[in-house]
Structure 1
């Protein structure tokens, strides 16, 4: 290197006019987002593979013979063996798992013994009912649970706080099926304030075209307000019972998050500056508590989608939980495992959504 030459590292890199230093930041941010997205996809794929492994294991350890359930107990030995080969149960276990994963990725969960339909077709038919019930219940839980938790935190140690906590404790302790039976006995049989079991009266069956499978939406889209009111009268009781369970969990967690936020220094600073107490509580404290609350609400929603089995049975609600229960009682393992995988996928999707919302609400997680 000659005395008047410069090291290559000291030569300034050419810049595009008007961009300044933004080009390097954009190039740095792009790989970070790509790496984050790749990690997220790998995490979802591994979780889904674990879900399939668990359901595959369950299908092999339960004392139910899928071949016998398909051909009946009076089938001949040749028929039994032929069906066993068609189901692939004569293959080594690792090959069975490979076929199971490949079929699940393609949405093929086999044929339901109970309905003789593809399991995915049955799930598409019954899942909107569960989605409708869980969504209305979650909305009730959010509308009532979050304000109750905020008020309990602000009035900590007072009688209001104790009343809200006792109500929440009852929501955890009282069995859902007992609440459902008492609700039907008092509000339906005695007072006639709500409609009875079922999703809609038989008189209104088939009057509304199926757009989404959710009767409340389909009837509103079609302008059939009589059907809409009848569907509301049917859903209000089971959704309120599930919503009570949801608000008990949401109010408790909201209270805990709010107590943590109210101890922070920025709350004291806001009060010293003379901001109204309403602004301090509902804007600043609750605004920061929304970050963990997103995860709580997503998990609560997933729990209602998966855990509304007893409510659907009590109210004869034709949802996914009712379908899985009937399939299990009739040894229809294809339907049971297919429904379980769908519920697991819903949980994975809700966790993914909550993670994305968490990153959006909290800049530190980006």
Structure 2
């Protein structure tokens, strides 16, 4: 006996291959157009903000003592004598080639500076995200399981502390206690001077580079410098992830299928972790991804306190110096990171949530 209902097949015939491919192509085209419009809007925003700021780019390049002749020559060289729309098109041409000009603070191309400082921030934020995720998800789940108990109150207090206490204050207190008083960790910077020339830069990630070189002493020194600022960033991630996970799980634990599973004799832990958590996993992945993007972008104060030679510190120095080339390049990178994270979240939704695929089919 056939298990296929002929009536259902007649009502919903299988789509031909060319039609399915056309549907996927249309969705891909919409996605690419959306990404292009977002990046174009971001580029326009950074361009016009740069033009509205009370900073003369010619003076920023030549200084206050430049002659009028030199000023006019540089003014024309930068294209400032052209109409604003032509300046914007010229700006887009340079951005498409990843050419943001030279940084005034270093004299090198901005893209080279970003490539030099970004691995430090990537390493710091990645370890912070790992700490925040590995502690935040279980904390949120157990907080929902034991709602309104002492454990739940402790987790909520830690989350409140992570959101309320400024990172620069936590960093200073951590340095005073763990570095200056107890001597358990390394001080500011990424590595002690005696090990700095022993590390050959391959990836720019000191943990990876020292591990590849098999230099265990340098690896331990790098980790001792990294663990405190990463833990402070991880506390911020833990606060957000645990709070959102708790909220998602409380909603799921009140559903009838969890109550039915308990009535049928399924253990409380299995009901929570196997059934309830599976239904919020996609939402939790989205929260983790966005938290990681915020850590990459928001490590400015932490890097300043710990003298961390990363992306946030570079951007801060560029803003203080009025270096618009560096500021614009960094702003576009931050926006591109968020666009990429959102695309990744959308892809994960389609992979892990069958309902999304059914709605789009």
Sort the TM-score into its range (normalised by shorter chain): over 0.9
1:315 CA drift (Å):
0.1
Partner Cα distance (1:125, 1:277) in 2: 50
Look up the match of 2:203. 212
Which of 314, 328, 346 in structure 2 is aligned with 1:355? 346
Q: How many equivalent residue pairs?
A: 346
Deviating beyond 3 angstroms after TM superposition, the runs of 4 or more aligned structure 1 residues are 21-28
SS in structure 1 of the partner of residue 15 of structure 2: helix
Partner Cα distance (1:22, 1:71) in 2: 71
SS in structure 2 of the partner of residue 196 of structure 1: coil
1:310 CA drift (Å):
0.4
Q: Does 1:111 align with 2:102?
A: yes
Aligned counterparts, 1:139-158, within 5 A: 139-158=130-149
Larger Rg: 1
Q: List per-residue Cα deviations over 1:144-203 (Å, max 9, x = no partner).
A: 000000011011111211111111011100111000000001110011111100011111
Look up the match of 1:310. 301
Look up the match of 2:7. none
Partner Cα distance (1:22, 1:108) in 2: 52
Look up the match of 2:331. 340
1:261 CA drift (Å):
1.2
Partner Cα distance (2:139, 2:16) in 1: 44
1:22 CA drift (Å):
9.3
Partner Cα distance (2:52, 2:133) in 1: 40
Partner Cα distance (1:306, 1:109) in 2: 19
Q: TM-score, normalised by structure 1?
A: 0.92
SS in structure 2 of the partner of residue 24 of structure 1: coil
1:24 CA drift (Å):
3.3
Partner Cα distance (1:168, 1:148) in 2: 10
SS in structure 2 of the partner of residue 195 of structure 1: coil
Which of 275, 280, 288 in structure 1 is aligned with 2:266? 275
Look up the match of 1:15. none
Partner Cα distance (1:177, 1:85) in 2: 43
Partner Cα distance (2:216, 2:19) in 1: 55
SS in structure 2 of the partner of residue 217 of structure 1: helix
Look up the match of 1:293. 284
- Runs of 5+ unmatched residues, structure 1: 1-20
Partner Cα distance (2:270, 2:16) in 1: 36
Partner Cα distance (1:365, 1:284) in 2: 19
Look up the match of 2:35. 44
- Runs of 5+ unmatched residues, structure 2: 1-11
1:275 CA drift (Å):
2.2
**Structure 1 230/67 Cα, relative in aligned 2: closer, same or farther at 3 Å?**
same
Look up the match of 1:88. 79
Look up the match of 1:167. 158
1:122 CA drift (Å):
0.3
**Structure 1 26/261 Cα, relative in aligned 2: closer, same or farther at 3 Å?**
farther
Q: Does 1:189 align with 2:180?
A: yes
1:273 CA drift (Å):
2.9
1:256 CA drift (Å):
0.4
1:209 CA drift (Å):
2.0
1:327 CA drift (Å):
1.2
Q: CA RMSD in A?
A: 1.4
Q: Does 1:236 align with 2:231?
A: no
Partner Cα distance (2:145, 2:317) in 1: 46
1:23 CA drift (Å):
7.0
1:138 CA drift (Å):
0.4
SS in structure 1 of the partner of residue 59 of structure 2: helix
1:89 CA drift (Å):
1.1
Partner Cα distance (1:269, 1:42) in 2: 46
